[in-house]
Amino acid sequence: MSARLLLRLHRIGLIAMAYFSIFYVLVNSAAFPIIAGKTRAAQEAFGHSVTVLGATFAWLLPLPVRPDTAAGYLQWRGYGFFAIVFAVWGLFSACGAVRRDEDRGLVESWLSSGVSRLRLLATRSIFFAALSAEIVTLAGVAGWLGCLIAGTPADVAGLVGESAALWALTLACFGIGLVVAQLVGDFRAAASAGGVVLLLMFLLDSIGRSSVHRAPFTDISVFFLFNQSNAVAPGGSFDLVATVLLFAVCAVATVAAAAAFVRRDIGSGLIRQRPRGATEVHEASTNPLLRIPVIRGLWIRRIGAVGWTVGMAVAAAAVVLLVNATATFFATTPSLSSYLRGLAGNVHTVLLALIWLSFAQALVAILSITTVSRWSGDDSSGVLEMQLAEPLPRWRVLAERATELTVTVTVASFVAMAVILALAPAEAIAVDIGNLLIATALLIPFALTFAAVGAVLAGWRPRVAVVVLSTIAAISYLVFELGPLFKWPSWADNLSVFQLYGTPLITPVFVGGLIAMLAIVIVGFGSAGVVLARRDVAA
């Protein structure tokens, strides 16, 4: 296996993590004087507020250490959140390296060329270890540079120690993913089972952090081991023993995965379900839903649609329940006014608008990107060819794709809106139903804006569609977040699709932004139809 091929298999996760790590670290370190204030008194007051807020969010992030400094704030807000993101990346990368490659026939091809199973698994593990080390190093360098820009350089040794702990956590979760992926029979089952394992470990550590007396069983979590180190913050420490234990978890899990890989058959899991007796079927399904355009696609992908709907509903509920605590924090910290974007009105309503709509925009953007990924996959997997052989005109395939996404986004968004309306009165949050209805409806053209650009890319160059679209989304979000902090001109802010959406929950609809999004949707899907009609399938 060449390094170029392995790099290509990991390219999406690598690019996404590189963008996210550098951007997130820089925002939470370089912008510290803007957030906390430039005087020492203001920063100490900010640090006290963060300490109080940190106790409220102890279930999510470790308690802050010296948040009155750029390095301490970076430790809490940056590396505390990195634990979740890098753990998920490691787990999903392992599941993909095992199950997704088998689904593509790559593992069978490599084994038939004479590569042993042990060598194959070791190569994939070592390559991911090298890639994750590069990303962790980039994040550390970005953190050092951000603190330098903030005027309070971080301790290099502390950054190195915390980076080592983060790398160890990532590899431990990669090893756990390798083991889980050997037990089940496909990628979806592996990702689901691995996600449950990580969630249980996170909850164990969360219970331990939130409890007055920590129970001994909560210390078995990999997140607990990582949180023993807080070396970036002034006065923090690096726990060598806990970090070595994380590497040990990785090593033991990888060895166990290798033993399971040798024993099981390709295409199946080590744990096999009893085969169900079923009669052979040689006729087409009689399900009438499969004969109705658009409905058939929604029916086939109903589980995923339900998952997105439930996810947005849970996120909406979480935001509503956290608004009061966050509002108190903002009310006592005037330096955070820049985050409110100069919006007038009740701070609870403003925060609901900013936090929830930011979450909602991010979720529907991710939904659009994953949908574009499926469109690109249909081109090479033969699905598009089968659709055209029905026969269906190419423009109709494109129209059905756009309509399916529109229905999914609409249902998920309005269910989340219903959750907000149900919970807001109990939290004493005033919500204008009409404005919330408009804000929810505008999520549809927002999602279709990304989908239209993705449709052009999927029809023109399917293999690079997801990478390019993810890059556009990341840059757009970067402009949206940094513009208010650094007071960029309005024309620069409007380069972001997130900015074009506006804040319709508390301000009038940004008509210019809506027109721009609709124009992108019309031109994008129109161009996608032309490109799809002129290009050969799978070419």
User: Which domain-ending residue is among 235, 269, 303?
Assistant: 269
DSSP string, 482-527: HHHHHT--HHHHTTSHHHHH--TTTS---HHHHHHHHHHHHHHHHH
SS3 265: coil
Q: Which of 253, 269, 285 is the last residue of a domain?
A: 269
414: CB partners within 8 A, 6+ apart: 440
Residue 167 has a pLDDT of 96
pLDDT in tens, 95-129: 888 888 887 778 888 888 888 889 888 988 999 99
For the stretch 257-310, pLDDT in tens is 999 998 888 877 777 666 555 567 667 677 787 778 888 888 888 888 898 999
* Structural domain includes residue 60: no
Listed range (53-67, 204-218, 384-398, 510-524) with the worst mean pLDDT:
204-218
Instruction: Select the more confidently predicted residue: 98 or 243.
Output: 243
Could you tell me which residue, 475 or 244, shows the higher pLDDT? 244
Contact status, residue 524 vs residue 445, Cβ threshold 8 Å: no
Question: To the nearest 10°, the Cα dihedral for 206, 207, 208, 212?
Answer: 130
Residues 6 or more apart from 389 whose CB is under 8 A from it? none
pLDDT of residue 98: 85
Candidates 77, 86, 78; CA nearest to 166 is 86
Number of domains in the chain: 2
356: which DSSP letter?
I
pLDDT score of 329 more than 70: no
Owning domain of residue 208:
1-26+83-269
List, for residues 493-514, the tens digit of each pLDDT value.
777 888 888 888 888 898 999 9
Residue 40 forms part of a structural domain: no
C-alpha atoms less than 13 angstroms from C-alpha of 302 in its C-beta half-sphere: 6
Global pTM reads 0.75
Residue 336 is predicted with a pLDDT of: 56
User: What is the pLDDT, as a whole number, of residue 15?
Assistant: 78
- Lowest model confidence (mean pLDDT) among 169-178, 317-326, 514-523, 524-533: 317-326
Q: At what angle do helices 156-183 and 117-149 cross, to 10 degrees?
A: 150
The CA distance from 397 to 338, in Å, is: 45
pLDDT of 81 higher than 90: no
Predicted pLDDT of residue 184: 85
Phi, then psi, of 389 in degrees rounded to 5 = -80, -5
**pLDDT, average across residues 308-337:** 76
Residues 247 and 119 in one domain: yes
pLDDT of residue 494: 76
Measured between alpha carbons, how far is 262 from 272 in angstroms, rounded to an integer? Answer: 15
Note whether residue 361 is domain-resident: yes
pLDDT at 469: 84
Same structural domain, 310 and 444: yes
Asked if the model's pLDDT at residue 333 lies above 90, the reply is no
d(CA 153, CA 144): 7
Q: Which residues of 14-52 are buried (b: 16+ CB within 10 A; e: fewer)?
A: bbbbbbbbbbbbbbbbbbbbbbbbeeeebbebbbebbbe
Which of 164-178, 189-203, 477-491 has the lowest average pLDDT? 477-491
Are 355 and 470 within one domain? yes
Tell me, yes or no, whether 336 and 193 share the same domain: no
Q: How far apart are CA 524 and CA 95, in angstroms?
A: 34
d(CA 422, CA 436): 13
In sequence order, what DSSP letters do the residues of 274-306 get, joined into one string? PPPP-----S----GGGGSTTHHHHHHTHHHHH
Are 122 and 176 contained in the same domain? Answer: yes
- The chain-wide mean pLDDT, for the chain, equals 84
**φ, ψ for residue 429 (rounded to 5)?**
-105, 120
Q: For 59, phi and psi rounded to 5 degrees?
A: -70, -20
Last residue of a domain, one of 204, 236, 269: 269
> In this prediction, what percent of the chain has a pLDDT beyond 70?
88
Tokens of 311: 């996810």
Residues 354-403 have pLDDT tens digits of 788 888 998 899 899 888 888 887 776 677 777 777 777 888 888 999 99
Is residue 5 predicted with pLDDT exceeding 80? Answer: no
Residue 405 lies in a domain: yes
Q: Is residue 187 located within the same domain as residue 222?
A: yes
H helical segments located in 390-510: 394-423, 433-460, 465-486, 490-493, 497-501
pLDDT at residue number 459: 83
- The reported pLDDT for the residue numbered 272 is 67
Task: Go through the chain and tell me how many residues it has.
Answer: 539
Q: Residue 341: pLDDT band by 50, 70, 90 thresholds?
A: low
In a domain, 225, yes or no: yes
Mean per-residue pLDDT, 309-338:
74
Element (H, E) at 432: none
Output the pLDDT for position 111: 85
Burial of 197-213, coded b for 16+ CB within 10 Å and e otherwise, reads bbeebbebbbebbeeee
pLDDT at 486: 66
Q: Are residues 201 and 302 in the same domain?
A: no
Shared domain check, 426 and 506:
yes
| Position 152 pLDDT exceeds 90 | no
Q: Are residues 156 and 200 in the same domain?
A: yes
Other CB atoms within 10 Å distance of the CB of residue 492: 13
Q: Tell me, what's the pLDDT at 158? A: 92
Burial class (CB in 10 A: 0-12, 13-18, 19+), 471: middle
* pLDDT for res 214: 59
Domain assignment present for residue 38? The answer is no
Provide φ and ψ at 226, rounded to 5°: -65, -40
How much of the chain exceeds pLDDT 90, in percent? 30
Whether 204 and 297 share a structural domain: no
3-state secondary structure 65-126: CCCCCHHHHHHHHHHHHHHHHHHHHHHHHHHHHHHHHHHCCHHHHHHHCCCCHHHHHHHHHH
Confidence category of residue 211, pLDDT binned at 50, 70, 90: low
Confidence class for position 353, pLDDT limits 50, 70, 90 = confident
Residue 525, pLDDT above cutoff 90: yes
pLDDT range class, residue 72, cuts 50, 70, 90: very high
The C-alpha atoms of residue 362 and residue 377 are separated, in whole angstroms, by 23
Q: At what angle do helices 302-331 and 357-381 cross, to 10 degrees?
A: 150
Candidates 348, 510, 318; CA nearest to 419 is 318
Q: Does 71 map to a domain? A: no
Does 33 have pLDDT greater than 70?
yes
Is the same domain home to 263 and 311?
no
173 and 308 belong to one structural domain = no
Quick check: is 51 in a domain? no
